[in-house]
Amino acid sequence: MEYIEARTILMKTKTREWFGTDYTMNVYKGCHHGCVYCDSRSECYQIDQFDQVRGKTSASQLLNQELQSKRQKGVVGAGSMSDPYNYFERQELLTRQSLELFNHHGFGVSLATKSELVTRDIDLFQALKIHSPVAISLSFCTVDEQLGQKLERYVSPPSKRLSALEKLSAAGIYTGVMLMPVLPYLTDSWPIVESVIKSAYERGARYVYPLFGMTLRDRQRDYYFAFLKKYYPEKLRLYKKVYDNQYYCQSPNHQKLEQRMKELCDKLNVSMTMSSIIRDYQEPYQVEQGQLF
């Protein structure tokens, strides 16, 4: 794996809206998981050769200095721009070393992945949750193995991700599912959404957070449209007709799906709103003043 220079690893978040995170971290650049809908390919993120994973030189040393210098501790988000458990992480251990540093410096973590490798670090999640909030999300857009293979070519298949979810949950880690994106005209039917929720619930998921639509812009659109052209040419015509050059493409079924999902999640006692997820995993760490840590 190639390494590139980095000046910083941690970025302060503008708001705490996304899983209540105070910082974000990316120790890798690029992602080779090949999800056909991936937003991180977009030009605005300026990641050339997105499918090639590069590690950041001296990531651990940099991160150690940055964590040490923070007056305010908090929760670090990982997995927004690239999967922290890519193929190279097995040997390179940049994500694992970061978790060790969070533990050493008293920070929490909210991490999203599509890889079963996440279960390797259960020991560290358990150590972290003694002092700080920990939420581990597995991302899905379907639990159908064949469709999953088409949409997310190089990630752990849905069955392995569900098994990872089960192991995390059994180990006492607050874990759940990011049901996103729900792809218009492809995965936006109730049987597909329902099967993700029920499969997740059966394995101990505490939340299923949905996005009933997808973003589409520049390189991301080209990549996704090439996929549609190959496998679903009739859907490609539909996308062009319905969405034209629109940035956010909402599922035409979003209202019905949301309503049915709410009914099911209420019944199963599974959270589906960001405010309830943040409350559930962070509230136990709040001090009298109503502030974290």
Q: Which of 27, 28, 33, 180 binds ligand SF4 (CB under 6 A)?
A: 33
Pick the closest to residue 281 from 96, 178, 132 (CA basis).
132
Structure tokens at 57: 């030189």
Compute the least distance from the CB of residue 139 to ligand SF4, in Å. 7
From 30-38, 103-111, 183-191, 225-233, give the range in contact with ligand SF4 by CB under 6 A. 30-38
In whole angstroms, give the CA distance from residue 227 to residue 233: 9
Which is nearer to ligand SF4, 114 or 129 (by Cβ)? 114
Which is nearer to ligand SF4, 219 or 260 (by Cβ)? 219
Structure tokens at 23: 């910082």
CB atoms within 10 A of CB 178: 20
**Alpha-carbon torsion (142, 144, 148, 150), positive or negative:** negative
Structure tokens at 223: 């990549």
Instruction: Give 4's strand partners.
Output: 56
Which is nearer to ligand SF4, 140 or 174 (by Cβ)? 140
When asked if residue 132 is in the footprint of ligand SF4 (CB under 6 A), the reply is: no
Per-residue binding letters, 150-189, with ligand SF4 (x by CB under 6 A): -----x----------------------------------
- Hey, which residues between 215 and 244 contact ligand SF4 (CB under 6 A)? none
Q: Which residues contact 183 (CB under 8 A, 6 or more apart)?
A: 37, 141, 151, 214, 251
Q: Which of 29, 56, 73, 114 binds ligand SF4 (CB under 6 A)?
A: 114
When asked if residue 206 is in the footprint of ligand SF4 (CB under 6 A), the reply is: no
**Alpha-carbon torsion (171, 176, 193, 256), positive or negative:** positive
Which is nearer to ligand SF4, 155 or 208 (by Cβ)? 155
Pick the closest to residue 75 from 3, 29, 17, 114 (CA basis).
17
Give the number of C-alpha atoms closer than 13 A to the C-alpha of residue 130, restricted to the C-beta side. 11
Which is nearer to ligand SF4, 114 or 161 (by Cβ)? 114
In whole angstroms, give the CA distance from residue 98 to residue 82: 15
When asked if residue 40 is in the footprint of ligand SF4 (CB under 6 A), the reply is: yes
When asked if residue 31 is in the footprint of ligand SF4 (CB under 6 A), the reply is: yes
From 26-34, 143-151, 223-231, 274-282, give the range in contact with ligand SF4 by CB under 6 A. 26-34
Q: Which of 35, 183, 214, 277 binds ligand SF4 (CB under 6 A)?
A: 35
Contact (Cβ atoms closer than 8 angstroms) between residue 146 and residue 164: no
Compute the least distance from the CB of residue 86 to ligand SF4, in Å. 8
Q: Which residues contact 191 (CB under 8 A, 6 or more apart)?
A: none
- Hey, which residues between 69 and 108 contact ligand SF4 (CB under 6 A)? 82-83
Compute the least distance from the CB of residue 184 to ligand SF4, in Å. 17
Binding site for ligand SF4 (CB under 6 A): 31, 33-35, 38, 40, 82-83, 114, 155
